């Protein structure tokens, strides 16, 4: 190049996982000038019946996504505002709610998982995705200059090898890549599970009598050693979650979602009538195919980057309970900061410096957020002995607000 300049060598990143964490990394790394390949075991992107459930996007995540998309209209059109964070107590006998704390300066937006996934996916090049490729293993070259990733094509069983300069583990809370470095790592069971679902509520005309700020409010209903979450999604849909204390279930397979029977659903419906106002009970009963998540997190790990070529992001890096609305937001922030750090250090020869900065920046943030979310869930589930709902003061109840999350306004 003129002036004796040397050309900066950009790298190739292999991202394992095509969920929102993986797509976010694809956006951030392509924006940093890197070539990206995304490996996903599903044979095609999600279409048709929506999968997943609702997500609350914090202000920083909204700005990051708008930057990736190049405009804001599509995100605004796919979301609803959550300008109020309200915690309320439910009286089981009187079947009524009373407000404990209300924050009217909340600035989140509600989106369905599948809508957010579609936004991120449709704004990426088609040729970076390897659908129907099951991650098998990886190895680092002796000189630590490249990583070799082995996949198996689901349909044919053919083995495919991919060589990259960076391996990004976006393969969820049961990450097999993380297991390579932390073979004794174990998830921590929270003590409760969550029934959840999404309902088209056009037919429920009286819902806003009990929840008048639907469409802009994140509702938390607190009962005796239990709590529920309710908020509206675009296209007249309601997202609900109900947390129930119970012994740890015996999970089968590589998933934290339990297979449920009609008998389990009927029993859940019967229990709902004992705890919640009739309007919420009706939402729960009319939801088709509710599902049951087992809630885990983990003790904060000591590092996010390994062997100078492997980095953990999203739930692979920091499984967290959902009470601080952090899981997806942390993944989006992870990706954005990873992209900025790699872009800042330029050449693939400086990858270690970029990964070191990513780890130094993110590890203190996500560690504190995981632990705060854990404590928030324990309070709302009646599992923390020093918080008595009946004796708590207004100042005590403010502890329930989302804005108490460490780094609530972001870390970038």
Any idea what the CATH number is for the domain that residue 24 is in? 3.50.50.60
* 329, pLDDT greater than 90: yes
Residue 397 maps to a domain: no
**Neighbour order of strands in the sheet with 84-91:** 96-103, 84-91, 217-223, 226-233, 237-245, 188-200, 291-297, 257-258
Whether residue 274 is contained in a domain is answered as no
Query: What's the mean per-residue pLDDT of the chain?
Result: 92
Name which of 196, 199, 220 is nearest 294 in CA terms. 196
Residue 347 lies in a domain: yes
Taking 80 as the threshold, does the pLDDT of residue 410 lie above it? no
Q: pLDDT tens digit string along 218-274?
A: 999 999 999 999 999 999 999 999 999 999 998 877 788 888 999 999 999 999 999
Mean pLDDT (whole number) for 300-322: 96
Q: Domain for residue 252, yes or no? A: no
In a domain, 191, yes or no: no
Give the position of tokens 């309902």.
199
State the Rg of the chain over Cα: 22
- The answer to whether residue 260 is domain-embedded is no
Global confidence as pTM: 0.93
Give domain status of residue 335, yes or no: yes
Alpha helices in 150-296 (DSSP H): 176-181, 207-210, 262-275, 278-286
Percent of the chain predicted with pLDDT > 70: 95
Tell me the C-alpha distance between 282 and 309, whole Å.
Answer: 51
Evaluate if residue 6 carries a pLDDT over 60. Answer: no
Q: Is residue 285 part of a domain?
A: no
Residue 236 to residue 199: CA distance in whole angstroms: 8
The predicted pLDDT at position 111 comes to 96
Q: Assess contact for 324 and 372: CB atoms under 8 A.
A: yes
Interatomic CA distance for residues 115 and 111, integer angstroms: 7
Contact 140, 307 (CB under 8 A): yes
- Which domain range does residue 305 map to? 10-49+124-184+301-379
Query: How far, CA to CA in Å, does 193 sit from each of 172, 243, 260, 295, 377?
Result: 18, 6, 12, 5, 11
The predicted-structure confidence for 210-223, as pLDDT tens digits, reads as follows: 899 999 999 999 99
Question: How many domains, in total, are found in the chain?
Answer: 1
Cβ contact 326:371 at 8 Å: no
pLDDT per residue as tens digits for the range 153-188: 999 999 999 999 999 999 999 999 999 999 999 999
Q: pLDDT-derived band of residue 203, with 50, 70 and 90 as boundaries?
A: low
């Amino acid at each position: 190049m003129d002036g004796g300049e040397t050309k900066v060598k950009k790298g190739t990143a292999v991202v394992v996982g095509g969920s929102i964490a993986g797509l976010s990394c694809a956006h951030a790394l392509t924006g940093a000038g890197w070539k990206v390949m995304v490996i996903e075991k599903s044979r095609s992107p999600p279409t048709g019946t929506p999968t997943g459930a609702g997500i609350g996007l914090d202000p920083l995540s909204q700005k990051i996504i708008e930057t990736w998309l190049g405009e804001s209209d599509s995100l605004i059109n796919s979301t609803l505002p959550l300008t109020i964070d309200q915690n309320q107590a439910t009286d089981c006998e009187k079947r009524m709610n009373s407000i404990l704390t209300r924050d009217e300066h909340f600035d989140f937006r509600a989106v369905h998982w599948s809508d957010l996934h579609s936004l991120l996916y449709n704004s990426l090049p088609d040729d970076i995705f390897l659908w129907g490729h099951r991650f098998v293993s990886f190895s680092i070259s002796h000189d630590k200059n490249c990583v070799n990733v082995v996949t198996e094509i689901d349909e044919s069983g053919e083995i495919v090898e991919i060589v990259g300069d960076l391996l990004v583990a976006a393969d969820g809370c049961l990450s097999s890549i993380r297991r390579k470095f932390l073979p004794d790592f174990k998830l921590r069971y929270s003590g409760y599970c969550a029934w959840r679902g999404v309902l088209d509520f056009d037919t429920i005309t009286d819902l806003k009598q009990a929840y008048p700020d639907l469409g802009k409010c994140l509702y938390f209903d607190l009962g005796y050693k239990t709590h529920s979450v309710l908020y509206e999604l675009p296209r007249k849909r309601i997202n609900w979650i109900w947390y129930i204390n119970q012994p740890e279930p015996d999970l089968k397979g590589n998933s934290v979602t339990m297979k449920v029977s009609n008998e389990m659903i009927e029993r859940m419906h019967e229990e709902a009538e004992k705890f919640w106002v009739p309007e919420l009970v009706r939402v729960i009963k009319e939801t088709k195919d509710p599902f049951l998540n087992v809630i885990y997190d983990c003790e904060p790990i000591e590092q996010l980057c390994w062997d100078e070529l492997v980095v953990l992001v999203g739930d692979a890096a920091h499984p967290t309970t959902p009470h601080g609305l952090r899981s997806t937001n942390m993944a989006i922030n992870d990706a954005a900061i990873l992209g900025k750090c790699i872009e800042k250090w330029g050449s693939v020869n400086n990858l270690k410096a970029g990964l070191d900065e990513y780890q130094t920046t993110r590890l203190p943030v996500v560690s504190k957020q995981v632990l705060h979310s854990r404590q928030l869930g324990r309070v709302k589930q009646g599992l923390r002995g020093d918080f008595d709902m009946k004796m708590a003061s207004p100042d005590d109840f403010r502890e329930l607000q989302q804005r108490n999350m460490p780094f609530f306004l972001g870390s970038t």
